[in-house]
Amino acid sequence: MPKRISPRFLKHMSRDIDPDEIFLDSKNLPGFDRDQFEGRIEKPISQNAIFGVFLLFLMIILIFLAKIVNLQIFQGEEFLKKSENNRLDNMPLFAMRGLIFDRNNVPLAWNTFDNEAERVALIMQDTSTTTEKMPFPHRSYISLPGFGHLLGYVSYPKRDKSGNYYQQQYMGKDGLEEYYNEALSGANGLRIVETDALGRTQEGSIVEKPTDGDTLTLSVDARVQEKLHAFIRDTANDFKYMAGAGIVMDVNTGELLAMTSYPEYDSAILSEGKERKIIQGYNLDKRAVFLDRAVSGVYTPGSIMKPFMAVAALAEGVISPEKQILSTGSISIQNPYYPNIKSVFNDWKAHGWVDMRRALAVSSDVYFYAIGGGFADQKGIGIVNIEKYSRMFGFGAVTNIDITDEKAGTIPNPEWKAKMFKGEPWRLGDTYHTVIGQYGFQTTVLQAVRGIAGIANGGKLVTPHFLKGHVPANSTTIIPIQAEYFQVAREGMRQGVKEGTVTGLGVGYVSVAGKTGTAEIDAGKKYINSWVVGFFPYEKPKYAFAVVMEKGPHSNTIGGVYVMRQLLDWMSMNTPEYFGNN
């Protein structure tokens, strides 16, 4: 029989348990995580906390209300205008970029479209048939070689993924496209189209018509330009020159009949930017394809400086045209560092007795050493006058031609040497080298042709330019030297064609005067730059020319004269009008 539990015991078991009895020894119990509030009594949220939360929400509501009031009342008008603009779609109406023609109205740069619909849409300014932005024409260029650096290229208008144009203009890049970019661009028009919230076009629009760019007519003859480039290119490839450049210029006006540089880039390829491999090839080509050697290439001129130095010597009165100087093949002067040693300055050959005209014809170095720095009883003009007269003929300064990236070149002087060679003094030998266009002398092909034009026209320094019939402001500077001194230089250059170093230009159909130059380059003198400069017709000069073939083998006897002879032969058959005396 089960044992009966006492009521007294049950009463004892049912009494209330005090909380402090439960937690009396909780601190001794293992396993409680105090950070998780284990072993602690829950407490109700205080009224202060509830009131704080209420105040926080009230503050947020008040801030939002204040912002709404500011946007709707104080800035409402401004945002209304912005909302109006958001529903008005601005479409640019692209201006037609100006055309470029040569002197005979041969198109050199013009505009084309991907299809006939685009052409009609742009001409009619009609965007109703398409949701795309207005089309713009692409730039096309003459396919003949020789015009890359002359014309340059363009960057087309650009738009983002949404179809909005962030560049609404063509940007000329290099050449005439860059220099005359503002005139060629014209001004874009604007079409404003209203759309509703669903993007549907509403009837009616506001149109500002575009203004097309100006047309440029150049003084360049595309035929002469292409042939000059071809002869430079073929000569470079056949006779191992790295590059070359050439210019033909009107001696009286400065109009450029031709100006080209090899190698060159294709203007259309750079404008479109799609032929990645070809463009990469341009960038990696060690011949510097993007360098316009006619205006940006600087070269040691060599003996083409001698006609200018002859005029300088006559103007300074250190010699008469008839006085003869003996060239035995070299001159020797005392070495300033070693009393028992003499410094020898060689001529390219022994010429015997030569006067000024003969010295120019045969390009005697010894003659010009003597009149430049002085030797024996012959007084020289000195480095100060060498620089002075070089600058009179435009060397060491830009010509202000209407094309980009023209360089000024360098005329050596004592200050230049001290800067370049850590304070070294100027020596007589430096003057000897400078007077024959060596040492640190550097010039551009453009400066050379302008200087020769100054001798041909009797002392006028003209500004080279490309626009036909346009006369630049302050385009002519008179060189303050007596006219007869220029005539002596002209006669010496003509004698050079008859029986001197330029006999390759002795042709029967036009009388040419010229001067060659062979400038040694590279530390080991392994290479040369081959120059020729001159003018024609001799009796009444009309055009000056300058050609440089860059970095050919030192032993090479074919160069600038060969290029110019080919061009003259071609011109006699195809453009004989440039040889006339009128």
How does pLDDT run across 13-47, given as a tens digit for each residue? 555 656 555 555 555 555 666 666 565 656 677 77
The pLDDT assigned to 94 comes to 86
Burial label for 389, CB within 10 Å (0-12, 13-18, 19+), is: buried
- List the CATH code of the domain at 222-579: 3.40.710.10
Token pair belonging to 373 = 């720095």
- Least confident segment among 72-86, 383-397, 498-512: 72-86
Q: Say how far apart CA 7 and CA 128 lie, in whole Å.
A: 103
How large is the average pLDDT for residues 408-433? 95
Angstrom CA distances, 197 to 5, 175, 394, stand at: 87, 47, 66
pLDDT at 232 over 50: yes
Bridge-partner residues for 532, per DSSP? Answer: 516, 547
- Least confident segment among 15-19, 82-86, 245-249: 82-86
The answer to whether 138 and 111 are in contact (CB under 8 A) is yes
When the pLDDT of each residue in the chain is averaged and rounded to a whole number, the result is 88
The answer to whether 125 and 190 are in contact (CB under 8 A) is no
How large is the average pLDDT for residues 379-383? 97
Q: Say how far apart CA 426 and CA 418 lie, in whole Å.
A: 8
Of residues 482 and 520, more confidently modeled: 482
8-state DSSP, 34 = G
Of residues 464 and 31, more confidently modeled: 464
How large is the average pLDDT for residues 403-413? 96
Of residues 87 and 155, more confidently modeled: 155
pLDDT at 125 over 60: no
pLDDT at 129 over 50: no
pLDDT at 560 over 70: yes
List the one residue out of 426, 416, 303, 415 whose CA is nearest residue 367.
Answer: 303
How large is the average pLDDT for residues 246-252? 98
The pLDDT assigned to 31 comes to 61
pLDDT at 415 over 50: yes
The pLDDT assigned to 133 comes to 53
Per-domain boundaries in the chain: 92-217, 222-579
The pLDDT assigned to 295 comes to 98
The answer to whether 371 and 309 are in contact (CB under 8 A) is yes
Q: State the pLDDT confidence band at 452, using cuts at 50, 70 and 90.
A: very high
The pLDDT assigned to 122 comes to 57
The H-assigned helical ranges of 285-392 are 306-316, 356-362, 365-373, 382-392
Of residues 226 and 74, more confidently modeled: 226
How large is the average pLDDT for residues 154-160? 88
- Sign (positive or negative) of CA dihedral 366, 371, 373, 375: positive
- For tokens 């009837």, what's the residue? 203
The pLDDT assigned to 520 comes to 86
Phi then psi for residue 437, to 5 deg, are 75, 25
pLDDT at 58 over 90: no
Ramachandran quadrant class, 104 (left: phi over 0; alpha: psi -120 to 50; beta: rest): alpha
Q: State the pLDDT confidence band at 197, using cuts at 50, 70 and 90.
A: low
The pLDDT assigned to 582 comes to 45
Q: Say how far apart CA 489 and CA 469 lie, in whole Å.
A: 30
Token pair belonging to 202 = 């509403």
First to last CA, the chain: 155
8-state DSSP, 305 = G
The H-assigned helical ranges of 172-275 are 175-179, 181-185, 222-238, 267-272
Bridge-partner residues for 167, per DSSP? Answer: 158
Q: Give 131's contacts (C-beta < 8 A, 6+ positions apart).
A: none
- Sign (positive or negative) of CA dihedral 420, 425, 430, 434: positive
- Least confident segment among 31-40, 269-278, 325-334: 31-40
Per DSSP, the three-state class of 17 is coil
- Least confident segment among 72-76, 225-229, 391-395, 508-512: 72-76
Of all residues in the chain, the percent with pLDDT exceeding 90 is 67
- Cα angle 481, 484, 490; round to 5: 100
Q: State the pLDDT confidence band at 130, using cuts at 50, 70 and 90.
A: very low
Per DSSP, the three-state class of 301 is coil
pLDDT at 494 over 60: yes
Ramachandran quadrant class, 139 (left: phi over 0; alpha: psi -120 to 50; beta: rest): beta
The C-alpha R_g of the chain, in whole angstroms, comes to 41
Of residues 501 and 163, more confidently modeled: 501
Rounded (to 5) percent helix, strand, coil in the chain:
40, 20, 40
- For domain 92-217, the CATH class is alpha beta
pLDDT at 527 over 70: yes
- Report the predicted TM-score, pTM, of the whole model to 2 decimal places: 0.82
Q: State the pLDDT confidence band at 578, using cuts at 50, 70 and 90.
A: very high
Q: Say how far apart CA 159 and CA 125 lie, in whole Å.
A: 19
As a residue count, the chain comes to 582
- For tokens 């341009």, what's the residue? 282
Token pair belonging to 366 = 């010894």
Q: State the pLDDT confidence band at 316, using cuts at 50, 70 and 90.
A: very high
